[in-house]
């Protein structure tokens, strides 16, 4: 071999060296350092997964008496009504929660690039991420409270509603003793026809003093007017035993300001008016011989908002709280992608005549596709195991309607003592997450090779 080298032949190959790890240490040393982490991984991840898989094939009884049942627990995933509802809600979560959160994050990230206070805005939007799911659930349980005096959502909703449709001031009003009024289809009507020139009294009770209209004034007995029907409607109640007169306004009694009065003949309204601040009203001659009716809309209960946590809206309401928390996460990742985007491409599109919407749709979004994919897949994995928000926000009366797989796992395993079914749900959740994780890992590897 030495002569071959001296004669100008190819050099002899070098003797193989022992391969070392990336850090320059031998494999045995690397494994030794990794051993504590591998032990923890096995104890906290691998063993629980394996135990749950085995336990999912046994019946619901605990302890050593568990009986092998094959796939019966997995069959329950598609026959049990509670689990089927949870599966349906999980599909809703996976479809809408990541999409809405990502879309809002994209809008926020793009719009905040154009304002001076972008950093402050991003801080405010991202701040909910610093709050635990438990705290967020408590916050939104109060936000969605049915009482407008407590729940922010209904306070806003009722305020908007009352701006366009004023609530009644007399929801509890009803005729008192010796009143000429009788019930009529949600309202009240006089027992006898009225005559022009003869004042009518329409006394009522039942309105709390603090609920009386703000413009109400001391009730005044209406005087007669020739050819017209006049009268008074008022709160015929004075505090104190034996104080005041029934059927006549007293100095401390207030008129029903704004009360609607209709004159009805043969089932048709021939005249209508509203009471003045002192409760007095006047109807034209057409009301002569008619019955006076106080229509039902005088006594409608005040609008109390939307039942956000009712059976029909509880899932969208809880998803709304999730979006509030995670839209900031999406915004931050997308903003980082925007920061690394080549600006010359955007400027070239504008120079070519594209408007801002076209630049956004045809340039910005395609360039952000890898980042958007990361955000969507991460949120999909996250919503598959959502538990805290549903458990805390949904009240007991509608928790079955808001049920998700993670919550059903908890209920089956602890509330109903069916560990076999709970383990089957856990394995099923793992099977749902694995394809999403595999897709994400493959995509990240492709990005790394570019």
For residues 371 and 337, the answer to whether their CB atoms sit within 8 Å is: yes
Instruction: Kindly tell me the burial class for residue 240, based on how many C-beta atoms sit within 10 Å of its own C-beta (0-12, 13-18, 19 or more).
Output: exposed
Of 390, 391, 387, 385, residue with least CA distance to 433: 385
pLDDT of residue 97 exceeding 60:
yes
CA dist., res. 288 & res. 291, Å (int): 9
342 contacts 368 by C-beta, under 8 angstroms: no
**How far is the C-alpha of 94 from the C-alpha of 331, rounded, in Å?**
19
Arithmetic mean of pLDDT, 407-430: 89
- pLDDT > 90: percent of the chain: 44
Greatest Cα pair distance, the chain, in angstroms, is: 143
Write out the two tokens for 93: 């979560």
**CB 208: neighbour CB atoms within 10 A?**
8
Measured in whole angstroms, how far is the alpha carbon of residue 316 from the centre of its chain?
A: 5
Question: How many CA atoms are closer than 13 Å to the CA of 140, on its beta-carbon side?
Answer: 29
Average pLDDT in the 187-212 region?
A: 90
Average pLDDT, the chain: 86
Environment class of 171 (CB within 10 Å of its CB; exposed 0-12, middle 13-18, buried 19+):
middle
Examine the pLDDT at 11 and tell me if it is beyond 70.
no
Per-residue tokens: 338: 């925007």
> What pLDDT score does 372 carry?
92
Q: Quick one: CA dihedral 112, 117, 120, 124, positive or negative?
A: negative
d(CA 289, CA 117): 70
| Residue 14: pLDDT band with limits 50, 70, 90 | low
- The helix (run of H) or strand (run of E) holding residue 47 is helix 47-55
- Could you tell me the pTM of the whole model? 0.75
- Pairwise CA distance, residues 186 & 175, whole Å: 13
Cβ neighbours for 384, distance < 8 A, ≥ 6 positions apart: 90, 93, 94, 405, 406, 429, 432, 433, 436
Residue 273's beta-bridge partner residues?
261
Give CA angle at 52 (90, 56), nearest 5°: 80
Is the pLDDT confidence value at 243 over 70? no
C-alpha 82 chain-centroid distance = 21
CA atoms lying within 13 Å on the CB side of residue 385: 13
pLDDT band at 17 (very low <50, low <70, confident <90, very high): low
Judge whether residue 61 has pLDDT over 70. Answer: no
pLDDT, position 307: 92
DSSP codes joined into one string, 197-245: TS-EEEEEE---GGGS-TT--B--PPPP-TTSEEEEEEE---SSTT-S-
**E strand or H helix at 265:** strand 260-265
- Tell me the C-alpha distance between 122 and 402, whole Å: 31
- Does residue 415 surpass a pLDDT of 80? yes
Q: For position 3, what pLDDT does the model report?
A: 47
Phi, psi of 103, rounded to the nearest 5 degrees: -65, -45
Task: Give dist(CA 423, CA 429) in Å, integer.
Answer: 10
Residue 2 — pLDDT band, cuts 50, 70, 90? Answer: very low
pLDDT, residue 4, reads 46
Q: What does the pLDDT average to over 255-263?
A: 93
Q: Taking the CA atoms of 191, 196, 200 and 202 in sequence, report the sign of the dihedral they define.
A: positive
Q: Helix, strand, coil shares of the chain as percentages rounded to 5?
A: 50, 10, 35
Tokens of 146: 């049915």
Read off the pLDDT of residues 360-406 as tens digits, 9 standing for 90 and up. Answer: 888 889 999 889 988 999 999 999 989 999 999 999 889 999 999 99
DSSP 251: T
What sign has the CA pseudo-torsion 235, 238, 239, 240? negative
Strands 187-190 and 291-294: antiparallel
Q: Is the pLDDT of residue 198 over 70?
A: yes
Nearest of 399, 387, 408 to residue 322 by alpha carbon: 387
**In the structure encoding, which two tokens stand for residue 153, read together?**
């959502």
* Terminal C-alpha separation, the chain: 44
Provide the pLDDT for residue 8.
Answer: 53
- For 285-331, what is each residue's pLDDT tens digit? 999 999 999 998 888 888 888 999 999 999 999 999 999 999 999 99
Q: What is the mean pLDDT of residues 152-170?
A: 84
What pLDDT score was predicted for residue 5?
47
What per-residue confidence (pLDDT) applies to 6?
46
Average of per-residue pLDDT across 89-109? 94
Answer yes or no: is pLDDT of 429 > 60: yes
Q: pLDDT value at position 281? A: 95
Q: Give the Cα separation of 284 and 272 in Å (integer).
A: 9
**Rounded mean pLDDT, 59-77:** 75
């Amino acid at each position: 071999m030495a002569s071959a080298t001296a004669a100008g032949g190819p050099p002899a190959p070098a003797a193989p060296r022992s391969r070392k790890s990336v850090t320059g240490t031998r494999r045995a040393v690397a494994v030794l350092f990794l051993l504590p982490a591998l032990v923890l991984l096995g104890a906290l991840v691998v063993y629980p997964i394996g135990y749950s898989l085995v336990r999912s094939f046994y019946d619901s009884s605990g302890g050593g008496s568990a009986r092998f049942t094959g796939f019966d627990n997995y069959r329950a995933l598609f026959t049990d009504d509670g689990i089927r509802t949870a599966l349906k809600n999980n599909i809703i979560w996976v479809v809408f929660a990541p999409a809405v959160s990502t879309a809002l994050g994209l809008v926020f990230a793009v719009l905040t690039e154009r304002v001076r206070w972008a950093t402050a805005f991003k801080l405010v939007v991202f701040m909910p991420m610093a709050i635990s799911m438990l705290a967020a659930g408590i916050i939104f349980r109060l936000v969605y409270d049915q009482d407008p005096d407590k729940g922010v959502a209904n306070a806003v909703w009722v305020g908007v509603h009352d701006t366009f449709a004023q609530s009644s001031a007399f929801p509890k009003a009803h005729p008192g003793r010796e009143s000429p009024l009788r019930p009529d289809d949600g309202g009240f009507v006089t027992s006898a026809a009225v005559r022009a020139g003869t004042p009518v009294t329409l006394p009522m009770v039942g309105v709390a003093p603090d609920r009386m209209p703000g413009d109400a004034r001391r009730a005044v007995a209406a005087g007669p007017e020739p050819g017209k029907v006049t009268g008074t409607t008022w709160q015929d109640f004075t505090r104190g035993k034996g104080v005041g007169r029934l059927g006549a306004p007293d100095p401390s009694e207030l008129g029903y300001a704004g009360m609607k009065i209709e004159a009805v003949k043969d089932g048709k309204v021939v005249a209508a008016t509203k009471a003045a601040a002192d409760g007095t009203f006047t109807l034209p001659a057409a009301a002569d011989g008619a019955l006076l009716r106080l229509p039902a809309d005088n006594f409608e209960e005040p609008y109390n908002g939307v039942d956000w946590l009712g059976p029909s809206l509880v899932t969208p309401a809880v998803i709304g709280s999730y979006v509030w928390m995670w839209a900031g996460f999406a915004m931050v990742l997308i903003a980082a992608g925007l920061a690394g985007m080549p600006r010359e491409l955007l400027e070239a599109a504008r120079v070519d005549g594209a408007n801002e919407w076209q630049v956004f749709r045809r340039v910005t979004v395609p360039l952000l596709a890898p980042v958007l994919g990361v955000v969507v897949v991460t949120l999909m994995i996250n919503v598959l195991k959502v538990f805290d928000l549903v458990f805390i926000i949904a009240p007991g009366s509608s928790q079955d309607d808001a049920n998700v797989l993670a919550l059903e796992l908890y209920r089956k395993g602890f509330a109903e003592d069916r560990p076999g079914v709970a383990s089957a749900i856990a394995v099923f959740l793992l099977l749902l997450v694995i394809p999403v994780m595999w897709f994400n890992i493959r995509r990240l590897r492709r990005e790394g090779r570019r």
